[in-house]
Chains A and B, each alone.
Chain A
Amino acid sequence: NAGVTQTPKFQVLKTGQSMTLQCAQDMNHNSMYWYRQDPGMGLRLIYYSASEGTTDKGEVPNGYNVSRLNKREFSLRLESAAPSQTSVYFCASSLHLSNQPQHFGDGTRLSIL
């Protein structure tokens, strides 16, 4: 049982380049999330999707876009990468919103030079 799978695991970009981070879950969960993790700041929510066809902004959405491609997949796009977006990105999923525990992937480590 794979759970939440993120690709790629590592990526280095130059400032201004674009990139899409992929996430897929096989737990038949309705809700999916994208977080970034920076040293000393814990996890901060970028965007989330309550169900297929819906997306909403989280705490730090600027510079990102998302697509809920289907129930399984939720992608995060950086249109014009900036050094401030250097971080570890985590995708998570839960059965529904509202108090449901979230299950995380292993992260994508992104460096922007």
Chain B
Amino acid sequence: GQQLNQSPQSMFIQEGEDVSMNCTSSSIFNTWLWYKQEPGEGPVLLIALYKAGELTSNGRLTAQFGITRKDSFLNISASIPSDVGIYFCAGPPPPNTDKLIFGTGTRLQVFP
């Protein structure tokens, strides 16, 4: 089936650093969603993107819908310890927009 590839798989950074991660697909997507999952909890929606080229921020987080519509990017500026978690991209795989598929996640560790 279709897959979303996320990179990097994991990141170990120091508090205050900026973080960049991305998600790519072999197919064109019309929606990109970014979720964060903390230990013992379910994924929480961070940002939703609906248009190619769209750039949306949520606090220190900024996500972009790639121009090719086959990728999306998430940046976190000035990381803090509570940014720790797994970040997932997700989107409805064409032509079926009824369901979401998820990437395998980027695990972020922040050291003080």
Contacts and interface: CB of A to CB of B under 8 A. Distances in A.
Nearest to A40: B104
A42 B88 CA distance: 8
A98 B98 contact: yes
Interface residues of A, number: 25
Given A42-B102, A101-B48, A4 B42 contact: yes
Contacts, number: 54
A43 B98 contact: no
A102 B42 CA distance: 11
Interface of A: 4, 33, 40-45, 48, 50, 56, 58-59, 90, 92, 97-99, 101-107
Interface of B: 1, 30-31, 33, 35, 40-45, 48, 50, 88, 90, 92, 97-105
17 contacts: A33-B99, A41-B104, A43-B88, A43-B102, A45-B100, A48-B98, A58-B99, A59-B1, A97-B97, A97-B98, A98-B92, A99-B30, A99-B31, A99-B97, A101-B45, A104-B44, A106-B41
Given A4-B42, A97-B99, A98-B92, 5 more contacts: A42-B102, A101-B33, A104-B35, A106-B40, A106-B41
